[in-house]
Every structure is written in structure tokens, then in C-alpha cells.
Amino acid sequence: MLIFARPVSDWKKSGIVWVLLASVSVIGCSGKDRKPENEVGPRFAVRADAETRAITEATGSEWVVSTQGRTATDAVDRTYTEGGNIIDAAIAASFAIGVERPQSTGIGGGGFMLYREAKTGKIYAIDFRERAPAKAYEKIYLDSKGEVIPDKSLVGIHAAGVPGLVKGLAEIHRKFGRIEWKTLLEPAIGLAENGVAVYPYLANALVEEREDLAKFPETKAIFLKKDGTPYREREVIAQTKLAQSLREIAAKGADGFYRGRIAHAIVRSTKGWISARDLANYKVRWLAPVRSTFHDYEVVSMPPPSSGGTHLIQILNLLEKEPLEKLGFQSPASLHLIASAMQRAYVDRARYMGDPDFVKIPLRTLTSKKYADQIRATIDPTRATPADALASAMPVLPEHSETTHFSIMDAEGNVVVSTQTINGWFGSKLVADGTGILLNNEMDDFSAKPGASNLFGAIGSKANSVQPGKTPLSSMSPTIVLEHGKPRLALGAPGGTRIITCVAQTILNALVYRLPLYDAVNALRIHEQWKPDVLNLEAPGFGEATEADLAARGWKLEKKGAGCAVMAVAREGNVLRGVSEPRDHGKAFAR
């Protein structure tokens, strides 16, 4: 039996909620056609009907884009039409999607970007993530008894970090852009002025966050009706103050955000928690990406302070020597090995990861094949390892969410993958007075204290403690896969701690199981992050036999939504193909 699911809303913590849509029984297999007992046919999340695929899949020969926002995809097309290059297109998409998906991202947030420059083959990793304000300190989210103060890192003034998105985009444009900066903000300005028609995911977020949105007058005036009720599907939300702020940024560049009226409003609205100096001194970081081989491919991804690239590579290294293709796509044995690799990577994430400017991270070891061999030896191919036993079994080294992602690739071999966020739905819920700018709640990505979990259930450590100027840990995993030195696949996802496992599974589906790109993205997913000690199966699940087998191996099973949304682009010979998560509200387009 094949079960299909269709999304109805974002899952509050890190993605998407699913409901059962239909079930179809497959009958009539003759004896000679029947698959062996241990083989499992592909199971997918969304029925691949023509209407869905027309929006979420595209092919072309010049360029291709996959985003989580339909107007953002349109902004890319407009930018290319006006003579822009891939960087111009990425910047236009970034500003537009911040208006279209205010629950997910915006200029009050930050993000990461990988850019492959075709003429040199160089891949740049750019960190424009939020930083902790100078007034932050390690125990700021603890009470006098040392306990975490509920919601202090999630809602209101102290939830916000210093935004980096505008500064990051401005630096990237100055270095690589082709057409005028102000032109790139025009789609976003028009959308903010004319309004966004509410789509299902935004409607659900408004309902879920209504109480907190109503706490702040400026926020309430934008995102709730005069009677305090949420906007419903197809109703229009205009963001006229945001449009004015975008005009200022279009005219003045980054200074339009980090100095002057907008900066003063942020300082005033946060009562000095974010200071004028914090804003003026914000620095974008240009980093070396993490890289490793995987079979005949090279995987390039985001380095710390994102944990995404490191542990994506770690998972792939752990699985590289496993006979996944022989075991079969979505077979219990394959799922067991994949979950075991995920579990072990998340132990190391909790142990070692933080901002490399503040803590020493054994990055070379974590991404090495030798270390993967050591860790692989702790995997029992027949039994799950309990979470509490796992950390002691592994060698000690020396020494929802809401986010959005887009991927762009062109015929010349230029690639941009970028993940951007304000963290939880509508970030801190605080709009800076008179600006229309929602400030992030990225401070929740720090560890309030060792062992405490954040919005996404990630276990914190001393390495990710709060310090002034520090960047919180992230799971964002913008990734480029090269074949013979040329782009083969580029992808990323929103979804909190699930980002890493979603990206890893999509790579495995495409490159190991050799599924078409649409199927690789649309396949049902699993997620294991060490603690809580549970293996999440995407609802409605993988079938009774598979689930019984996994349970017999010792896995504690729980069915949930996918919790992430993959945006992927790929080169297939002379064809460029893009797939925007079929579970979501995005759009793929190509020329």
C-alpha cells in the first residue's frame, strides 16, 4: 500500500504539518514480478500530479531556480530579464522572500550563502548570521536558581540578535553583482506595498502565534486585523512601513539599515539591548567551506558556526562504506543504518559545535574518513543504540523552525545556495517601531545552559553558550555537490535541526539510490538527533512491516511531519532541473 500526504501548514518548531490525503493499493503483481521480501518500493509524501509538478519542478538550459516563495522565484526571473547575474538574482530573491514569508525570514534576520564562481571554480562561504549583542552574557536566560526563564530567548527584546542579512547581501553585491542595487529591491518593495495574499502556511502561522503577535502594538497592527483576529487564506497583508524601509535600503545600501532612522528604531525598540554600536560594527565573515568526497562526488557545504555542513559530511562518511543501494531504498536495514549515522553525528554536534571564533572545534577530525571508520564500528547493524549509552560508546576527540532556502544554478556553472532565517515563526514577534521590520529570535539558538534544549529540541553545550559578539550555532546546510569538478547538485532546506538529515537523505536518494530529482526530494523522510531518544518517521509512515522491523531493532518510533523543505537544483547533461519542495508553497522555474 502506498500512502500519500499533503501539507496543510508549517510545523511550528521546524517545518511542516501533514494530513492523510489518500491511500492506493497496488495489486496484480505476478509471481515473477514480485520483489524480494527485503525490498521496499518508493514511498513519497505528495502525489506527483501534473498540477503540483508544474509549479514545483522546472527544466531549462540557461538557468534554474528553486525557492520557498513564488514571488521570490518571479523576482529571479525578472532580475535575469533585466540583465542581472546569479548574484543579482539571489539578492532579489532574498529581499522578496522576506516579504512573502514574514513568518520565516526577513531583513531583521540573517543567514548563510555558498557561491560557486564559474570562471574561477572557487566556492565562497559567506556568514551573515545574527550575532549576540554586546550586552549579552552567559546566564542571561537563567533565573536566580539557575533555571531557564521560559520564553525569554524566544519572545521580545532579549530574543533578538544583531541582524546581518542586509549587510551580507550588500557586501556580496559589491563584490559580485552586475546591475544596480536599488533595482534588486524593487520586487520586494512592490510586494510589501501591494500586499501578500495569505497562503495556507502563513495562515496557520498567524493562528498559532496570534497571542504573542498581539503583545506588540506594531506587530499586531501589521499581522492581525483590527479586531485582533488573524488574516485568513487569500486575504491580503500589506506591509507599507516595511516598503518604506526597503526604499531607504535601496537608496542608501547597508547604511540605510545599520545607521540612521532604521538603526535608531531598532535601538529604541529593544531598549538598547541592541545598541547603535552593535549595528554599526556588524561584520560579515567570509569563510572556507567544509569539503569531503562521497563516492565519485565532492560535497561542499557551510562550515561552523553552522553545524550543518560538518555533520552532513559526517553522516555521508559514515554511510559511504555501507551497501545502501544493495539493501534497497527505504528498506528497514537501510533506514536503520541511516538513522544510526544521524544519531552519532548529533552526539558530536552537542559535544563540540559553537562559534569557531570562541571555541576550538575539531573540524578536520569530525569530517575525516578515519574518524568515520571509528564511529561506524559502534553501529550494530541489527540493533539501535540507546541514546544514553551512545555518548560513552563513541570515542572522545582530543581537544516550526522556521527558515527559508533557495538554490540557483546557471549553464556556466555558477551556483548560489542560501539559507536565511529569523529563527522561530515571526522571530521575536517584535517589530522595530515605524519600520515594519520583524526582529529575529536567534538568541534561542544559543545554549541557555548545558543540557537544556532549544526550540528545536537540540541539546546545548558549553561550546554554544551565550557571549557578546558570538554567533549562535545553526544547522543550516547550503550544499553544492560537484562531479569531476563541475556542479552536479545544489540544495538546502529550512527546518531547524532537521535540515541536516533532510539534505543528507536527498543526496542519498539522488546519488546512491539514483532516484529522479523530484522523487529524491519527495520521498518520505526519517529523522534522528540523539536526544530525544526517538526515531521520527514522516507521517503517515513507511508501512506496518517496515515499522515493525525497526521497532524490533530497538528504535522508539514516532510519526511526525517532515519538518523541512528541500530546494534543489541539478545539472543533468545539458538540462538544468529544479525542484521546490512538493510539500510546501514554493516554486521552481527555469529558462
Active-site residue set: 403
Check if the beta carbon of residue 567 is closer than 8 Å to that of residue 67: yes
**How far is residue 142's CA from residue 514's CA, in Å, rounded to a whole number?**
49
**How far is residue 206's CA from residue 397's CA, in Å, rounded to a whole number?**
44
> Helix, strand or coil for residue 590?
strand
DSSP class of 573: T
**How far is residue 58's CA from residue 74's CA, in Å, rounded to a whole number?**
13
Give how far Cα 14 sits from Cα of 9, 17, 46, 353, 502, Å. 11, 10, 19, 20, 12
Q: What is the dihedral of CA 33, 34, 38, 41, to 10 degrees?
A: 80
Burial class of residue 333, CB neighbours in 10 A (0-12, 13-18, 19+): buried
DSSP class of 174: H
Phi, psi of 432 (to 5 degrees): -65, 130
> Helix, strand or coil for residue 543?
coil
Cα 456 to chain centroid, rounded: 12
Q: What is the dihedral of CA 423, 345, 115, 494, to 10 degrees?
A: -30
**How far is residue 425's CA from residue 574's CA, in Å, rounded to a whole number?**
39
Check if the beta carbon of residue 407 is closer than 8 Å to that of residue 94: no
Phi, psi of 515 (to 5 degrees): -80, 150
**Bond into 532 cis (ω within 30):** yes
Q: In what order do the strands lie in the sheet with 415-423?
A: 285-287, 123-128, 110-116, 415-423, 402-410, 63-67, 587-590
Which residues are bridge partners to 327 per DSSP? none
**How far is residue 367's CA from residue 351's CA, in Å, rounded to a whole number?**
15
Check if the beta carbon of residue 576 is closer than 8 Å to that of residue 411: yes
**Bond into 395 cis (ω within 30):** no
Check if the beta carbon of residue 509 is closer than 8 Å to that of residue 587: no
Q: In what order do the strands lie in the sheet with 57-60?
A: 57-60, 575-580, 567-572, 486-492, 479-483, 297-301, 290-294
> Helix, strand or coil for residue 458?
coil
